[in-house]
Structures are given as C-alpha cells and as structure tokens.
Amino acid sequence: MTQQKTKHYPQHIDLEPVMHVEGTVRLPGSKSISNRTLLLAALAEGSTTIHDLLASDDTTVMLGALRSLGIKWEEIDERTIVVHGNGGVLPNHEADLFMGNAGTAIRPLTAALAVIGGDYTLHGVSRMHERPIGDLVDALTAVGAQIEYTGEPGFPPLRIKRGHIHANRMSVRGNVSSQFLTALLMAAPLMARGHAVTIDVVGELISKPYIEITLNLMRRFGVTVEQDGWASFTVQPGRKYASPGSIHVEGDASSASYFLAAGAIGGGPVRVEGVGRDSIQGDVRFADALERMGAIIERGDNWIEARSGADGVLKAIDADFNHIPDAAMTIAVAALYADGPSTLRNIASWRVKETDRLSAMATELRKIGATVEEGADYLRITPPEELAPATIDTYDDHRMAMCFSLAALDGKARRGNAMRINDPKCVAKTFPDYFEAFASIARNELF
Ligand SMILES: O=C(O)C1=C[C@@H](OP(=O)(O)O)[C@@H](O)[C@H](O)C1
Ligand SMILES: C=C(OP(=O)(O)O)C(=O)O
C-alpha cells in the first residue's frame, strides 16, 4: 500500500576519493511540494493527477495517512499518482497515523485533522517525539480545537478529538518552525465558513521561502491568501480547494545542493535537471551562495549547472542562511574546501530538525580536521590544511549522510579522502537513490 519500494542498504558505505566529477542528475521530486500537494489534493473537490511525486519515506507516511483517513489514491506508475479528493471531508473518523520523522506530514495534518474533527492519534519515530509542535497546538486550541499530548507536553504523540472551532483571527509563533504557519494556512479554508480567517504571526518568522511554496500551491488549488507582509494572512469566506486536474512536482532543490556543490568543489560541470530559474523553492538560492564562493553557475528553465571557478579554489563565505536552512548544511561541508573560515549565521532551527544539526555538524566536521566554533545559532568553520579520512556518523539525518559524501571529492585547495558514511539508509527520508546518483557523477570508481 505504500508507494516507496523497499531498498537494502549496507551498514556503512565506504567512498573512495573522487578525482573529478561531471555529469547530469535528474532530481527526485521536491519533498515540500510533494507532501503539500498530496494533502491539498485530498482536501480538494475532484481528482488530481500528480506527476513526478517524490517516492521516499516522507511521502510514504503521508500517503499511508491519507489512506488510513479513507482518501482514495492510486499509483499509475512509479512517478505518477492520482488522488481522489473528498472536498474537505474525511471518510474515516478514527485513525492511528504513523508520521515517521516527516515534519511536512505531521504539522499540516495536525491542523487539518483538528479542524475537521474526529478521533485521531499522530505519532512518529523517537526523534519526532522530540521535535516541537507546541506553537501549532497552542494556536489551534486557542480557537477551540481539542488536542492532547499523550507523551511530553509540547511534542508528539498527539491525540486529536472533535473540537468547536471559531476562528476569525488566530495567531502563531513563527520563530521555531515555519511549518506551523504552513499548517494553519492550509487548514484555513476549512475554517473560513461564513467568515474570513486571519492568521497573525507573532514575533519573527523563520524559513520564509517555505511559506511562499505553501501560498503558491494553495493558489493552484484555487485558494488565494491575502498577505500583509509576513505579519498576517487572510483567507476570505467560502474559498474551497478545487483540483487543478493535474500538477507537476518540481525536482527537489535541497537535493540539488549536493550535486551543485560537487560541481563547484570537484571541477564539473554538474547539471541538475528538474529545477531551474523559475522554481518556487527557496533552496534554489543555494546556487547564489555557491556563486558567492566563486563557483560558476548557469541556469535554465529546468536545470542548474555548477562548475569550479577559474582558479578552482572556493572563497570563504560569511552569510545569513535563515532562508535556506536545509541547503545551508551543504555550505557547511563545502566550507572545508574554502580559502579561509566561513560563518553560517541565523540557523538556530537546525537544533530541532532530524537531529541537533548544529552539534552533529560541528562534531563530524571536526573529525575531518576542521576547527569549528558552534554558537547558539551559528557555525564558524575553519578548514584544516589537509582533510583527514573519517568515519561519519549520520544521526538518522539524511542530510548528514548526503553532505558528508562531498568530503570524498578532490578540490583545488584540498584533496578528498576515503570517507565511511555510517547508516546510509537514512537518505531514504527524501532521496532513496542518493548514493547511486552521487556515484554517477564521479569519474572514477566510487565504491
Ligand atoms: O515547509 C517545509 O516544507 C519545510 C520547512 C523547513 O522547516 P522549518 O520551517 O522548520 O525551518 C525545512 O527545513 C523543511 O525541510 C521543509
Ligand atoms: C528539516 C527537514 O525535514 P522536515 O520536513 O521533517 O522538517 C529536512 O528535510 O531537512
């Protein structure tokens, strides 16, 4: 019943040093677009054919949840799914939903289920039970939702019952995760029955480009949100989701970052296909950061290409990465090849993702010889004279595994090394075939 095919991974992968990278990679579908599209299609009137949907752990849990809720969908082929929307009504009023570690599944579903009402339990892997959800639950309970914590207050698991929602105006904090605002926005048309619903953001809003993805996809499903800067968002009464008929999922711009960085470090050109200059994903701006580091970037409608600059040495960077928290992890590893210390600022949200990424990143970069200063919300990375071979722990975090594969690359300033990546199966969260794709751009045997 799940879409993702089971794949077998070894306990660790040993990467040989890579002398040169070059080639083209077709990206898997965007996780952020896939999971939003699945939920919007389920809530819409009519059937939606979704092309190039991501097949990974995060979409598998969303598809499984929709099926448990009584939403019908079928797989046409490996990359195409048809979801039969049920117009904002869920056939099953009771369900136990396993959400893995997918923030893009549990947060939007919590809001939608709390508004629709029923008897639902949402839980996930142990790390999911340490990832905050209190700001979203507070926003929903303040307008009449019934949500209980069955474990630690502020964290999943959750039990959602039928509440009495009266939401003309609601507010949510935006400084821990933008996914809470995304969740409320996607549920807002279900609340805007006979009156408008305004959502005010309290304090700072992080990861803003992800809100743009949400608004863009809601618009494609027929609901326009009125926006007052980043401070408040209004859905007018009577707006309902309607299927656009068919929708195409862009390639994942965060997944693109590993290949673009590879091209920038290891010669290139490396081209990614599936995202381009018109992408709706903020993470395409990762290419701008690489450009600042001296890489040569070219962009087409549906592709981006990176290669090393004229002297081949990456320039150190000091920048705010709040807008691209996921792709910024790739910059942290690219910084190993830079001509001086790099500073990644305003990335406190790293602490509450798949692992505490500030701490994990600092620990693993040090194994390769870097000097790392770990602040509350920043990392300062000074590359070593020479990179050391290392065994990298991945903390059940797909991005740790994917980023650190880059340290096998030969750069102009520093040579790559044999890298052992422990527990490579964690890449299945968003990119089950990552290591095959990485091997396809290595111009010597990788394994
Ligand atoms: O809405 C989304 O699709 C996402 C938002 C970001 O999370 P935060 O808003 O928690 O930073 C990002 O890190 C995550 O991978 C996907
Ligand atoms: C933070 C991430 O995931 P999630 O959608 O679970 O928040 C991520 O993919 O880097």
165-197: pLDDT as tens digits? 999 999 999 999 999 999 999 999 999 889 999
- Determine the distance separating the centroid of ligand 2 and the alpha carbon of 235, expressed in angstroms: 27
How much is the average pLDDT of 362-384? 98
Angle between helices 209-220 and 31-43 (to 10 degrees): 40
367-377: pLDDT as tens digits? 999 999 999 99
Please state, as a whole number, how many other Cβ atoms lie within 10 Å of the Cβ of residue 367: 16
How much is the average pLDDT of 78-106? 97
Ligand 2 proximal residues by C-beta, below 6 Å: 101-104, 326, 353-354, 399, 430
Buried b (16+ CB within 10 A) or exposed e, 69-95: bebebeeeeebebebbbbebebeeeeb
Is there a binding annotation on residue 179?
Answer: yes
pLDDT value, residue 4: 59
Tell me the best of 30, 31, 36, 331 to mutate to test the pocket of ligand 2, counting ligand atoms within 8 Å of each CB and taking the most: 31
Is there a binding annotation on residue 326?
Answer: yes
- Determine the distance separating the centroid of ligand 1 and the alpha carbon of 285, expressed in angstroms: 15
How much is the average pLDDT of 54-74? 98
Tell me the best of 354, 398, 403 to mutate to test the pocket of ligand 2, counting ligand atoms within 8 Å of each CB and taking the most: 354
200 is catalytic: no
How much is the average pLDDT of 70-95? 96
135-157: pLDDT as tens digits? 999 999 999 999 999 999 999 99
pLDDT value, residue 437: 98
Q: Which residues contact 302 (CB under 8 A, 6 or more apart)?
A: 273, 274, 275, 276
pLDDT value, residue 100: 98
Q: Which residues contact 365 (CB under 8 A, 6 or more apart)?
A: 332, 333, 336, 372, 381
For residue 179 and ligand 1, the question of a CB distance below 6 A is answered with: yes
pLDDT value, residue 3: 54
Among all bound ligands, the one having the nearest atom to the CA of 324 is 1
Identify the residue whose C-alpha is closest to ligand 2 atom 3.
Answer: 103
Type of residue found at 296:
I
Identify the residue whose C-alpha is closest to ligand 1 atom 12.
Answer: 326
- Provide the whole-model pTM: 0.98
pLDDT range class, residue 5, cuts 50, 70, 90: low
